[in-house]
Structure 1
Amino acid sequence: MNIMKKMFNSFLTENSSTSSFSKYDEELGSLHADLKQNIQAIKEVFGGSNDVIIRNIEIGENRRVEIAVLYVEGLVDTESMHNFIMEALMLDIKGTELEAQFDLNDILETIKDSILTVTDITDITDFNQVFDNILSGSVIILVNGFAQGFAVGLQEFEVRSIGEPTTEGSVRGPKEGFTETLRTNTAMIRRKIKHPHLWIESKKIGRMTKTAVATMYIHGIVNEDVLKELRARLDKIDTDSILESGYIEEFIQDKTYTPFPTVHHTERPDVVAAALLEGKIAVVVDGTPFVLIVPALFSQFYQTAEDYYQHADFATFTRFLRILSLFIALLAPSLYIAVTTYHQEMLPTALLYSLAEQREGVPFPAFIEALLMEITLEILREAGIRLPKSVGSAVSIVGALVIGQAAVEAGLSSAAMVIVVSITAISSFAFPSFHMAIPIRMLRFVFILLSASLGLFGITVGIIALVLHLCRLQSFGVPYMSPFAPLLLSDQKDALIRMPHSRLVSRPQATVHKNQKRQQSSDSNQQD
């Protein structure tokens, strides 16, 4: 066993992907004073890629100052670059006010303060900064004789326009969703919360992708312990690539084996704004429209932004419908199997005779029958997602109808089983969060096995084990089942039920430990 462990550790060490990358960065180091040497090193790193444009120009009296302008075609606003950089640098300063300021020993400051007319200028002194900035859409300016230069931010990417969220639709409420551009997403959140205490901490993660990641929170409301833990988990991420927020989610989620998500994600700015005002933290990742929210609680996966745009009584009614849908999606097939297989005495006589008549020609027990129908449903669901949108929904719906009817006529399944599986599928679509529907679909098969083995006793044992598991979970140190376990009476006003806004005086106690009061209670309403 020890030999195998040593071999495995040796394999990991030998195949480490960080060694060559780090070594190459160390070899480049700081910029050189010789411009040609800098350009040659940059060309070697990029391997002569033809989208890396290098423009050499000479400025000053008798063209005595050599300058190189570098950028990646497609990442830079070329019109602005020509107007504000190239024309400004190539301007003949003889006879102008700049002539008196033009000094070879102070050329960098002259270019930065007097020639360039842009505001986003960053000093760079090493090759790592050159590559980070040029691949982020900046224009690099290097001057011969100086071991430093400038990075001018003139980024221009092809971006998707703001549209309606595709995964979180609503009848009433904002129709805008996040895009794949980080700054657009942070700006949309700032439009919702116009307060200077909305702070943003930015960093880049991924040795090769160098993906920009922004952490947003409201200073004075956020739980400092959760913020500290999030920073520590983000700092521990050491990987080549971050291509979507799902990468970050897996790295920062609590290390507990569970099918339930402990990090929430959304593509709605209003949902993120509401979470920030409740003391939570948003993690915005460049290149994806899904923003992460931590800590995540079980109850929030069954709440929607629309709950706060409708009347409180209707919002409460729809929340109870979602909870009912949860139990139906999780337990309907297993309850049917348990009752028809072990507990027939619980059924009315007429219903029992009807079910027995339907199953008369079915060659499989209820367990196999349910298993085949559920697997078929999952395959149809996955096929509907992967097919083109124009035919995907039609194929999944028509396929389910045709296969269900054919199975009944062929005697492979009873009509009652088709009805149970159909109701189960419909209930699973009532979840506001698709992320939470996945573990329910997985656990449904576990409860089917328990019901086929032990009947209602097996289902009871499964429910007890599931509740205990949920009560053990935490998300960044916050109990996953708050405000039910532990029981927080002050938070019950916005858990299963949704009280009117005039009664939501305090922020959730589960996530906010200071500055809990969010509004003044009116004279006509009692304080919490």
Structure 2
Amino acid sequence: MGIIKFLSTKFRISVPTHHKQKQSDDDSLRLKKNLKENIQRIKQTFGNSEDIVVREWRTEGSNAIEVAVIYADGLADVKLINQFIIEPLMSLDRYPHFSGLQSPAGNYLDEFKQLLLPVGSIQEGLNLDMLLSGILSGETVLLCQGFDQGLLIASKGWEDRPIQEPTSQTVIRGPKDGFTENIITNIALVRRKIKDPNLWIQGFNVGRITKTSVSIVYVNGIAKDHVVQEVRDRIGRIQIDGILESGYIEELIQDRRFTLFPTIYNTERPDVIAAGLLEGRIAILVDGTPFVLLVPAIFPQFFQSAEDYYQRSDISTLLRLLRYSALLIALLGPPLYIAITTFHHDMLPPRLLISLSAQREGIPFPAFFEALIMELTFELLREAGVRLPRAVGQSISIVGALVIGQAAVQAGIVSAAMVIVVSITAIASFTIPAYNMAIAIRILRFGIMGLAASFGLFGIIAGIIAIVQHLCHLNSFGVPYMSPYAPVVTEDLKDGGLRVPWWKMNSRPSTASKLNQIRQSHSSTTDPDPEGRD
């Protein structure tokens, strides 16, 4: 700085304004040696908020000093602060090694940190910004008269929701614990599943105002290094005022912005995250939400349930095939009914055609508007069931669907066959495990219905081709979205639409990890009974 000042004075060289601004900002963040001034600056920064507690006192003894403890009420553990911070500092005369500090400068902060305070983590706060961030994170700030730095003492103690069973992804067989809104608890849940030092965790603070804690978790040696770096870079490029839920992160880092299909997987289940990490994927945890992100994600992943890996392989395969059948019904149920009843009557058996024609006699609307009315009505009932209080929401949804469907048929607005088709379609959409994928299918169904009403089966086929082409163009952090089907990866088909027995899944998915692909020894992959004998 002296050289810059000399050159600017001697040779009339102008100093860049951004350099002056940076120097000014650094000066404004520096702590002073005056304790009262530091406390006043902290109070002014918080607007004298009543939840910021400041406790000042003067220690006893020959080397008495002025000390202050600052914390946020509700974020810090008051009992811990009183017992392990304030009480030792107010009773220095009980500790013989503090009866007289020999250092003329009185290096109290180092002595406090090394000999007096029985807490787990203590860091030095070198500037005002570090102290403010620590207070808002539940830590306690210790300041002393005559020192231009403070101590950040770990004392987080806010109320948390206990670990409960996930509500969005329930299973019959499998663990019942789920993530909570506390990122520390969530990391511990993952650590309980994977007890390996190669489980690496890197933290970020995202959001200029909220400074939300975000952590990426991966298994070193299994996850691809360039994918891990890509996740770091995308999170580092986020410039936003606040992150309140993992959905913010999901939308800001996804590969394709304009697509209905989710390209990042989210879950409340620690066992799903642990399984993904062991396959080479990267988890993104966000403080304040129980939903954890998992990347890269592929299309078959959204039709798999955690229970698929806890049941026998034949049962899991049957359930997966059932879900893919439900996908076709949820997407093509009403469109096929519209196309056949409007354009392709010859595809129906005569008796069925006569029955449907008799039901539609007197219906004032074409099949497309008939289906549209019923679909919109059901979507309204579904949304109302979610938003209404839990005690009455489910009852109103069921009673509303029955009453409205029966009344619509009796009033001659829709046919009974249309009510059946829409009901089966709705039931099929509920079998899709991922809620965001089910929403995408529901939205696309309306577009396919329009094509069916305009062009019949040709419109449906054109819509399916367009959807498949779009899916094949999607990527998730460099991984083809339709893998292992497009491109075909034969080795990964063992855990796609089918699930082979565990003793045959000896390698990790190549799309997620090309390092350390062997997940079990050869001896454990041998068929224990190759000829089917007992």
> Against the structure 1 CA distance between its residues 404 and 95, is the aligned structure 2 distance closer, same or farther, given a 3 Å change threshold?
closer
Assess if the C-alpha contact under 8 Å between 2:323 and 2:431 holds in 1: yes
Assess if the C-alpha contact under 8 Å between 2:503 and 2:526 holds in 1: no
Aligned pairs for 1:144-293 within 5 A: 144-293=145-294
**Cα displacement (A) at 1:93:** 2.4
Aligned pairs for 1:443-522 within 5 A: 443-522=444-523
3-state SS in 2 of match to 1:54: strand
Aligned pairs for 1:47-86 within 5 A: 47-62=47-62, 64-86=64-86
- Aligned partner of 1:401 in structure 2 is 402
3-state SS in 1 of match to 2:426: helix
Aligned pairs for 1:27-46 within 5 A: 28-46=28-46
AA aligned to 2:110 is: E
3-state SS in 2 of match to 1:61: coil
More displaced 10-residue stretch of structure 1: 142-151 or 23-32? 23-32
AA aligned to 2:164 is: G
> Against the structure 1 CA distance between its residues 115 and 446, is the aligned structure 2 distance closer, same or farther, given a 3 Å change threshold?
same
Gaps in structure 1 of 5+ consecutive residues: 1-21
Aligned pairs for 1:120-159 within 5 A: 120-159=121-160
- Aligned partner of 1:90 in structure 2 is 90
- Aligned partner of 1:12 in structure 2 is none
More displaced 10-residue stretch of structure 1: 406-415 or 219-228? 219-228
Aligned counterparts of 2:43 and 2:222: Cα–Cα separation in 1? 49
Assess if the C-alpha contact under 8 Å between 1:61 and 1:94 holds in 2: no
Aligned counterparts of 1:25 and 1:375: Cα–Cα separation in 2? 56
**Cα displacement (A) at 1:203:** 1.1
> Against the structure 1 CA distance between its residues 147 and 380, is the aligned structure 2 distance closer, same or farther, given a 3 Å change threshold?
same
Aligned counterparts of 1:280 and 1:294: Cα–Cα separation in 2? 6
Q: Which deviations, in whole Å up to 9, do the C-alpha atoms of 1:331-362 show, x marking residues without a partner?
A: 00000000000000000000000000000010
> Against the structure 1 CA distance between its residues 41 and 95, is the aligned structure 2 distance closer, same or farther, given a 3 Å change threshold?
closer
More displaced 10-residue stretch of structure 1: 247-256 or 270-279? 247-256
Aligned counterparts of 2:278 and 2:448: Cα–Cα separation in 1? 38
Q: Which deviations, in whole Å up to 9, do the C-alpha atoms of 1:200-230 show, x marking residues without a partner?
A: 0011111111111110000000011211111
Q: Which deviations, in whole Å up to 9, do the C-alpha atoms of 1:288-336 show, x marking residues without a partner?
A: 0000000110000000110010010000000000000000000000000
- Aligned partner of 2:12 in structure 1 is none
**Cα displacement (A) at 1:75:** 1.1
AA aligned to 1:219 is: N
Q: Which deviations, in whole Å up to 9, do the C-alpha atoms of 1:153-205 show, x marking residues without a partner?
A: 11101100000000000000001100000010010011001110000001111
- Aligned partner of 2:428 in structure 1 is 427
> Against the structure 1 CA distance between its residues 382 and 95, is the aligned structure 2 distance closer, same or farther, given a 3 Å change threshold?
closer
Gaps in structure 2 of 5+ consecutive residues: 1-21, 529-534
Q: Which deviations, in whole Å up to 9, do the C-alpha atoms of 1:472-523 show, x marking residues without a partner?
A: 0000110000000000000011101000000000000111111000012337
Aligned counterparts of 1:233 and 1:204: Cα–Cα separation in 2? 13
AA aligned to 1:467 is: V
Assess if the C-alpha contact under 8 Å between 2:218 and 2:280 holds in 1: yes
Aligned counterparts of 1:218 and 1:525: Cα–Cα separation in 2? 29
Runs of 4+ in 1 over 4 A off after TM superposition: 22-27
Aligned counterparts of 2:382 and 2:95: Cα–Cα separation in 1? 74
> Against the structure 1 CA distance between its residues 94 and 298, is the aligned structure 2 distance closer, same or farther, given a 3 Å change threshold?
closer
3-state SS in 2 of match to 1:105: coil
Assess if the C-alpha contact under 8 Å between 2:256 and 2:474 holds in 1: no
Aligned length: 505
**Cα displacement (A) at 1:95:** 7.9
Aligned counterparts of 1:23 and 1:105: Cα–Cα separation in 2? 30
3-state SS in 2 of match to 1:283: strand
Question: Do residues 334 (structure 1) and 335 (structure 2) align?
Answer: yes
**Percent identity between the two aligned chains:** 52
Q: Which deviations, in whole Å up to 9, do the C-alpha atoms of 1:233-273 show, x marking residues without a partner?
A: 00001111111111111111113411000110000000000
AA aligned to 1:416 is: A
3-state SS in 2 of match to 1:190: helix
Aligned counterparts of 1:500 and 1:343: Cα–Cα separation in 2? 44
3-state SS in 1 of match to 2:113: helix
**Cα displacement (A) at 1:114:** 1.5
3-state SS in 1 of match to 2:143: strand
TM-score by length of 2: 0.92
Assess if the C-alpha contact under 8 Å between 2:251 and 2:257 holds in 1: no
AA aligned to 1:176 is: D
Assess if the C-alpha contact under 8 Å between 1:102 and 1:110 holds in 2: no
> Against the structure 1 CA distance between its residues 345 and 158, is the aligned structure 2 distance closer, same or farther, given a 3 Å change threshold?
same
**Cα displacement (A) at 1:61:** 2.5
**Cα displacement (A) at 1:76:** 1.1
Assess if the C-alpha contact under 8 Å between 1:502 and 1:521 holds in 2: no
Aligned counterparts of 1:85 and 1:207: Cα–Cα separation in 2? 31
Aligned counterparts of 1:303 and 1:408: Cα–Cα separation in 2? 37
- Aligned partner of 1:366 in structure 2 is 367
**Cα displacement (A) at 1:524:** 3.8
- Aligned partner of 1:412 in structure 2 is 413
Assess if the C-alpha contact under 8 Å between 2:139 and 2:154 holds in 1: yes
**Cα displacement (A) at 1:119:** 2.4
- Aligned partner of 1:346 in structure 2 is 347
More displaced 10-residue stretch of structure 1: 498-507 or 96-105? 96-105
Assess if the C-alpha contact under 8 Å between 2:384 and 2:397 holds in 1: yes
More displaced 10-residue stretch of structure 1: 277-286 or 51-60? 51-60
Assess if the C-alpha contact under 8 Å between 1:25 and 1:128 holds in 2: no
> Against the structure 1 CA distance between its residues 380 and 388, is the aligned structure 2 distance closer, same or farther, given a 3 Å change threshold?
same
> Against the structure 1 CA distance between its residues 79 and 24, is the aligned structure 2 distance closer, same or farther, given a 3 Å change threshold?
farther
AA aligned to 2:98 is: L
Aligned counterparts of 1:192 and 1:94: Cα–Cα separation in 2? 45
3-state SS in 2 of match to 1:445: helix
Aligned counterparts of 2:225 and 2:78: Cα–Cα separation in 1? 43
